[in-house]
Structure 1
Amino acid sequence: MIDTARLVEVARGELVCLWGDLDEARRDAHEGQWSMGCDSLVERIKALTPLVGATPWAQVQIALLEDGVYQRVHQELGIEVTVDMDAVAEHRAWLDQQAVTT
């Protein structure tokens, strides 16, 4: 018997990892832009998301939120997501402050 609840849980975890992989792939791409590897990761994200729902924005890397990548991927899927950009800006300010103090 297939444990569908466990399958959904694993798929959601994989989505979190895929968003992290996308952030890393973009940072590793030439001049931090976009690559074929990024395209491949987005396609994998797009394959899983309709099956288990959007990854909560708070579990996605800040750069992908700031640049609208997270929002664009979901828009292309026809899935509405709302990102608290005030909270994102606050977190960015905190990260920038941490970088100054270290």
Structure 2
Amino acid sequence: MIDAERLEQVAREELGYLWGDLNTARQNAIRGQWSIQCDGIEDRIKALTALVGPTPWDEIQISLLESGIYQRIHAELGIEVAPDMERVTQVRENSSSRVRRSS
């Protein structure tokens, strides 16, 4: 018998990992933009998102939020997401100030 709750949990976890993979693939792409690898990961994100819904924005890498990639992918699926961009900016500033202090 299939455990539907466990299956959904695993799909959500995998979706979270895929967002991290997309962030890494984007960083490794020429000029840090986009690559064929990014396209493949995006397709997998879309497939799982259609099944289990969006990953909460506060679990997504800041660069994917700032660049609008998270928002674009969901818009293409017809899913409205509303990251708190003010909070994203605060997190980025806090992160940047910690890096400066440790240097």
Q: TM-score range by the shorter chain?
A: over 0.9
Number of equivalences: 102
Structure 1 segments of 4+ aligned residues over 3 angstroms from their partners: none
**Structural RMSD (CA):** 0.5
User: What SS class does the counterpart of residue 82 from structure 2 fall into?
Assistant: coil
| C-alpha distance in structure 2 between counterparts of 1:82 and 1:75, whole Å | 11
- Tell me the SS of whatever aligns to 1:51: helix
TM-score calculated relative to the size of structure 1: 0.99
| Separation (CA, whole Å) in 1 of partners of 2:69 and 2:36 | 15
Q: Please give the alpha-carbon distance, in whole angstroms, between the structure 1 residues aligned to 2:101 and 2:29.
A: 28
Percentage of identical aligned residues? 55
Structure 1 CA distance for aligned equivalents of residues 23 and 96 of structure 2: 18
Describe how 1:59-98 pairs up with structure 2 within 5 A. 59-98=59-98
Hey, what does 1:11 align to over in structure 2?
11
Q: TM-score, normalised by structure 2?
A: 0.98
Structure 1: unaligned runs, 5 residues or longer: none
